[in-house]
Amino acid sequence: MSILDPIYLLVALATWPIWRRRARADWPARFGHADRLPRPDRPRLLVHAVSVGEINALRTLVPILAEACDLVISATTDTGIARARDLYADRATIVRYPLDFSRSVRRFLDRVRPDAVALVELELWPNFIAECARRKIPVAVINGRLSARSFRGYRLLRPFLRRTFARLALCCAQNETYRARFCAMGTPSDRTRVEPSLKWDAPPTQVPHEQAQALADALGIDPARPLVVGASTAEGEEALLHEACPPGVQLLCAPRRPERFDEAARALPACVRRSSPDPRPDAERFLLDTIGELTLAYSLADVVVLGRSFGNLHGSDPLEPAALGKPILIGPAHDDFRDAVQALDEAEALRISTRERLDQDLRELLEDPARRTRMGEAARRCVESRRGVSRRVAEMLLALAHHEPRPSDSQHRVSPERVAEKPA
């Protein structure tokens, strides 16, 4: 038993009402119980992504990896599992990632038996990393991100987490500041490098017209009237968008969390819900209460407003609507996507708005088709100019899975202390 197990147990007991209320499924798999995977005839790589956003980021990486190794993808959330099955079930085995109890981790690794592990963004659970080290399974972080908010918390626990970070075989961080924070937490600098976010590669540049049209027809969206899509909205943002949209403009909201679907419907008067469509010719408010159709909604939009950015959360990913050539508005709270927002803002493909100015910004864009076109074209160019990271990351992961020497990265040697405190 790990020294962490009693701590995890106390936390689980204290938070049980929350877990129970969310009605999480698949408990045996969360404790590592499931059928053992057959032994492959080539190296096996386990890629772990927490939920839908991280799963989506793998869309260009997975095909490359699946050609060269036996690929297993794990996720933590129910929505992440569902999305992984939708996208990758024909090329990879989809499994549930375990809770970080030592026995759960051992059972999980006994059944999966990976030759290497890649963790998307962070997800460094101490028992999991320690057990991989004991079994000599190299662990990499890809798309690495350690925000200022997370770094403050991790730094308080640095004496306990340093060994966990030091055990990483490779860390591909999204920018120099994130890289320095990993080093400051204990990852040896010669095992780190900077690679832009995989999400620059992931978004499609077009979607099947017939699928998008089917969504529009099912909801009753009028193609002759402007449509604003509020993506990954959080509490209060559906009402904000409803009030900010000019008269006659259609609004489709897609809440980030499924448990908020009913609450969001109440904030959108007389809305048509995707889960039980009842299209009406006079409808102006629509609710996308399904998983996996947001890309189709983006393709229908005249303007995209990114949620989780007008309150105390930390933004939503702008790259998918950008790749589809859509003009974008985002609120001031977007720390989790600072690099992408900054790049798109500098390209004049995105505008940072506020709660007070959202109605004015929407009106100006909706009244100026030429400006919307310029912003959309600039967004598409910005995304295209940054593609290509997936193949580089794939080569490094496959080298780990084959236990080949990792390429050196001396060009990125910097002092962690010099940049670890930068806001990113």
| Residues acting as catalytic residues | 54
Instruction: Give CA–CA dist 241/340, Å, rounded.
Output: 23
Give 96-122 as a DSSP string. EPPPS-HHHHHHHHHHH--SEEEEES-
Instruction: Give CA–CA dist 93/71, Å, rounded.
Output: 7
Which residues does residue 139 pair with via DSSP β-bridges, in sequence order?
117
Burial 272-283 (b: 16+ CB within 10 A, else e): bbbeeeeeeeeb
Instruction: Give CA–CA dist 193/180, Å, rounded.
Output: 10
Strands (E) located in 145-269? 170-173, 192-194, 227-233, 250-255
Q: In the block, which residue shows the tokens 């390429």?
A: 407
CA 422, chain centre distance (Å): 22
Locate 419 and state its tokens: 């940049």
Q: In the block, which residue shows the tokens 């798999």?
A: 29
Termini Cα distance of the chain: 37
Handedness of CA 273, 274, 280, 281 (dihedral sign): positive
Instruction: Give CA–CA dist 399/68, Å, rounded.
Output: 11
The answer to whether the beta carbons of residues 30 and 104 sit under 8 Å apart is yes
Q: In the block, which residue shows the tokens 């969310």?
A: 22
